[in-house]
Structure 1
Amino acid sequence: MKDSRYFAAFQQLGKVLMTPVMLLPIAGILLGIGAAFTSTNLVSTFPILANDYLKLFFNLCKSAGNSVFNFLPIIFAISIAIGYAKKEKGIAALASVISFVTMHNVMSTLLIHLGKLDPSNLTTGQSLVLGIPSLDVGVFGGIIVGFMVAFLHNKFYNISLPPVLGIFSGTKFVPMISILCSVVLGFIMSGIWPAIQGGLTSLSNLINSTGAFGTVIYGLSERALLPFGLHHFVYLPFFFTNLGGSAVIDGNVVEGAVNIYQAQLASPSAMFNIDVTRFIMNGKIIVAAFGLTGGALAMYKTAKPEKKNIVRGLIIAAAIPAFFTGITEPIEYSFLFVAPMLFVVHSLYSGLAYFLTYILQVNVPGTSAFGGPFLSTIFNGVMQADKGSNWIWIPILGVIFFFLYYFTFKFMILKFNYKTPGREDEIINETSENNNLSKTDILYDIIEGLGGKDNIIHVDACFTRLRVKVKNKEIVGDTNLWKKLGANGVVQVSDGVQVIYGSKADVYKTQIREVLGLD
């Protein structure tokens, strides 16, 4: 029984993280549009983009998108704390915010005291987090905080303390114990994370010195470290330091892959160099614009037939920023937690893409700083063919990787029954045999159908099902009753029932909780 509870909690992770994942597509589109149309190269090609009003519009788009991506770690922390909290979820959310801030303040204070962090000169792997100079622990840090707070909340939200401390009993104790544990977590992360980042510095040196093999490691590790928030640590040193190369362009010494490539673009005679371009993500064009699009199509094709309409919007919205701007997180997070082996394969294919673009000398950068895959292919590829862009290989490799991702993802999803979007549960067509019930009538009829108020322990919902934990399943209404109440069916599970209401499920969940006074 204990093992089944842990398994159920892990299965719940996909549902818990659906809220932040659903935010990513629109944030990615806004950020991609803003970043692409404010890039230096594109503005120099189309001077009209330098217009103050256009710049303001695209900068606003970029800021709106960044409002999600920059705060994704704390969004994950809050979502996990709320999702796993049994009751008093608002207190869990408050405790997760306080804990997240406390952890970073502790890391900041300790590292500044030890002389390992200079707020005025942050190095790679350090950043401002909610205005706090700290270690960039990324989404991984948010997930740790979320689980820690959820555990503490469920253990202590109804604690009774001795009379002298009685004022701190119950939910008021949760933020207090969370702060104390966050102090300890901050100390632990301060010791562990710099060591991990030191290992990545050694990895950077290996990448830089091993040619084609290093290029494979670069592409693979840049993707594989995304869940831990460490992928920035892989590529940033190559972007702006001499680790990414040093060159003399038109008599000027330029260091860093991004700076060298920009200088080559501006030079009338300098040719592109693959030893520079490989560090500004030429392989990402293939993976982001084509590979993940194929993977997204596979997820759509393998979704339950009844759910394809629901999944289509999510997949299209996630694929658009990947194809046009290279922002891949909306797609990646849609399968990262529910099918981590797909992410492993994706990381391996990323390494392969970087290897092939290096061998074929595809000198087209794939970062959003250069407009992303689509615009970069046009302006840095097609229009710079005389500089040796070799852009013709992009559509050729793209088609290959599209089908490689499509067939691999489709096979693995079906073979291992991964619960990618649209495969969580079945639904039946949303029809109702009785549409004449008022809102109030149907709520009370649903409650009676579940055995009455005293039989209901907990009410929740997924995309399509009203999930209810009950004391006695035997007194829950049968399928015929639920058909009369507008449902498509009812399924009994180990601790209750699931009533299939389609898109109405989440609305009914909230309304029933309000009627019954449940959290």
Structure 2
Amino acid sequence: MDKKEVLGKFQRLGKVLMTPVLILPIAGILVGLGSAFTNAALIKAVPWLGSIVPSMFFSLCKVAGNVVMNNIPALFAICVAYGFAKSEKATAALCGFIGYMTMNTVMGTFLTVLGTIDPKNLATGQSSILGIVTLDTGVIGGLLVGALVAWIHNRWYKIELPPVLSIFNGTRFIPAATIVFCSLCGIVMSFIFPPIQSVLSALSDFILGSGALGSFVYGAAERLLLPFGLHHFVYLPFMFTSLGGTATIDGNLVTGAANIYSAIVSSPSADFDIDISRFVMNGKVIFAMFGLTGAALAFYHTALPQNKKKVAALMIAAVIPCFFTGITEPLEYSFLFVAPILFVVHALMAGLAYALAFLLNFNVAGSTAFGGPFLSLIFNGIMGASKGSNWQVILILGPIYFAAYYFLFKFLIIHRNLRTPGREVEEQEPDSAEVSPTGDIAEMIPRIIEAVGGPDNIDSADACFTRLRLVLEDPSLIQEDEVFTKKLGANGVIRVSGGIQIVYGNKASLYATQMRETLGME
């Protein structure tokens, strides 16, 4: 496998990992809601919240949300197996869960017999996972099992066995093979993972000790890698492995910044820790709610007079998900392709936001795992003031960032004559025979298929938040970018190794579904 193929695999993995991450917002909201309204200080101020009905309701919200938050590795195993399976994906997903449970059961039993694990006195790096006492491999274990199951599945899901074993032909062979291979994986992990835990702990200490500079690099790199679809690899390891820290909260050992932050929110006594908060995107609260809103206003004020109404509608639609949920891509993609310099400036400003949040001890999570910036500011910031959220920092940094983005973007747009929204050069109207970019998706799909080389050139069609992701046999058959942006309604095009990513905003998933149906894909 050459370098381009490896990059393509990583890009696909980034897309697959978004599936479990997208489950986290509702779980984060439930945990935040439940924890906020069962907080002792709030109950003292509003006594009726301590009565049986509201107390039970909000307690159930919290435990329901923690079902997801506490089992992210299992979800990763399922989603990776599903995402990389070529066909019969339901079987692969089921085997992802079976494999994850098998690995943990075998590893835990093996180490307990050897005396490495004492179920009554668990050491650092050991945990009870879905009732199984074992090593806590975090999402690394989930990713490993998911990849192993995908390999098993793709290799043998069409297997033909001798007549005496024919009952196990095809996909019925996969669960048996999964149990065997994941049992071996559990034994191997029993020997190699403890040293890995030590390395991660040492690296975690280094990262946690890097202070404001580390926070700047963390925030800037996460944004700069967005166009390549690799930004997930900046924050996911910190959020869900010991790179993001290890802490004991209310007597329970918790690993990963997202898990620790959630445990702090749920705890009646634990206070926020900036060394944890910086890895759950505290800086995003600043630039997503205020910075990019200022940028949107700059785009409106620098648009040509005849285009202002159109730009206003576009910016309002893009700012709403950015401000409330932290989904910044619709707004970022409005200028990423036409003015890359603005995106670089934005990435640097994002890194600065993380550094300032660290220096000012701003402990409000901005990740979608906690409902996004707006809800997190309410439930984890304002309602978590007693835990040291220091949410008041946003009252100062928010307006500063709004103004900084507005004036800096406006200056660069005017002085460099950037073709940001509303400043485009007049273009000829498309031929009447062409399909309008705003036309029906079903009518658009055949034209997109033709533009990427025809149905035989498409291996797979998927989507993330805003991009239709196509894996192609021969990327050289792709037509010019202008075909997609001028005739097929795309906001932009990203050519990647082995395929293309076409930006269609919030309708990207609809394009992917329609394309799979048109091509007869699963």
TM-score greater than 0.5 by the shorter chain: yes
C-alpha separation in 2, matches of 1:459 and 1:203: 37
Q: TM-score, length-normalised on structure 1?
A: 0.59
Listed one character per residue, the Cα deviations across residues 358-417 of structure 1 (whole Å, up to 9, x for unaligned) are: xxxx9x99999xx8443343x4679xxxxxxxx7x963997399969x99xx99xxxxxx
Deviation at 1:96, TM superposition (A): 0.9
Partner of 2:461: 460
Paired residue secondary structure (2:248): helix
- 1:79 positional shift: 1.8
Question: Alpha carbon RMSD of aligned pairs, Å?
Answer: 5.8
Question: Quick one: distance in 2 between partners of 1:225 and 1:460?
Answer: 27
* Structure 2 counterpart of 1:40: 40
**Contact 2:156 2:174 (8 Å CA) reproduced:** yes
Contact in 1 for aligned 2:31/2:66 (Cα 8 Å):
yes
Q: Shift in Å at residue 12 of structure 1? A: 1.8
Give the aligned partner of residue 150 of structure 1: 150
Aligned positions of 1:478-497 closer than 5 A: 487-488=488-489
Q: Residues 70-469 of structure 1: matches in 2 within 5 Å?
A: 70-120=70-120, 122-161=122-161, 165-195=165-195, 226-227=238-239, 229-230=241-242, 234-236=246-248, 240=251, 281=273, 291-296=283-288, 312=319, 315-318=322-325, 372-377=380-385, 379=386, 395=393, 399=397, 433=436, 442=443, 449=450, 455=456, 457-462=458-463, 463-465=466-468, 467=470, 469=472
Which ranges in structure 2 are unaligned for 5 or more consecutive residues?
A: 219-234, 253-263, 300-310, 328-343, 371-375, 410-433
Does residue 1:509 correspond to 2:521, yes or no?
A: no
- Matched to 1:455, the amino acid is D
**CA-CA distance at 1:460 after TM superposition:** 0.7
Deviates more, 1:302-311 or 1:497-506: 302-311
- Label 1:457 to 1:436 Cα distance change in 2 as closer, same or farther (>3 A): closer
Q: Specify the code of the residue in structure 1 equivalent to 2:284.
A: L
Identity of aligned residues (%): 35
**What is the CA deviation profile of residues 16-42 of structure 1, one whole-angstrom value per residue up to 9, with x for unaligned ones?**
222222222232122111112112333
> CA 1:295/1:104 → structure 2, altered by over 3 Å: closer, same or farther?
farther
SS in 1 for 2:54: helix
Aligned pairs (5 A) from 1:5-44: 5-44=5-44
Report the secondary structure of 2:461's partner residue.
strand
Aligned AA (2:82): I
Q: Is the 8 A contact 2:460 2:472 kept in 1?
A: yes
Q: C-alpha separation between the residues in 1 aligned to 2:449 and 2:236?
A: 50
Q: How many Å separate the matches in 1 of 2:96 and 2:63? A: 25
TM-score, scaled relative to structure 2: 0.59
Q: Is the 8 A contact 2:238 2:279 kept in 1?
A: no
Paired with 2:165 and 2:63, the residues of 1 have a C-alpha distance of 46
Deviations 1:57-112 (A, max 9, x none): 21232133223212211112222222222233222212211111111111221232
Distance 1:9 1:161 in 2: 31
CA distance in 2, matches of 1:102, 1:124: 22
Contact 2:85 2:150 in 1 (8 A): yes
SS of the residue corresponding to residue 133 of structure 1 reads strand
Does the aligned pair in 2 maintain the 1:461–1:506 contact within 8 Å?
yes
In 2, the alpha carbon distance for the partners of 1:105 and 1:57 equals 34
Is 395-404 or 228-237 further displaced after alignment? 395-404
Give the deviation of 1:232 after TM superposition: 8.4
Q: How many Å separate the matches in 2 of 1:470 and 1:82?
A: 22
Letter of the 1:29 counterpart: I
Matched residue type, 1:374: I
Give distance in 1, aligned partners of 2:519 and 2:199: 54
Structure-2 change in CA distance of 1:50 and 1:122 (3 Å): farther
User: Equivalents in 2 of 1:464, 1:215: separation in Å?
Assistant: 34
Question: In structure 1, how many angstroms separate the alpha carbons of the residues matched to 2:358 and 2:501?
Answer: 46
How has the CA–CA distance of structure 1 residues 15 and 308 changed in structure 2, closer, same or farther, with 3 Å as cutoff?
A: farther
Paired positions, count: 415
State the distance in 1 between where 2:129 and 2:37 align: 27
Aligned AA for 1:513? Answer: R
User: Given the superposition, is the C-alpha separation of residues 289 and 53 from structure 1 closer, same or farther in structure 2, using an over 3 Å criterion?
Assistant: farther
Rounded to whole Å, the distance in 1 between the matches of 2:23 and 2:457 is: 32
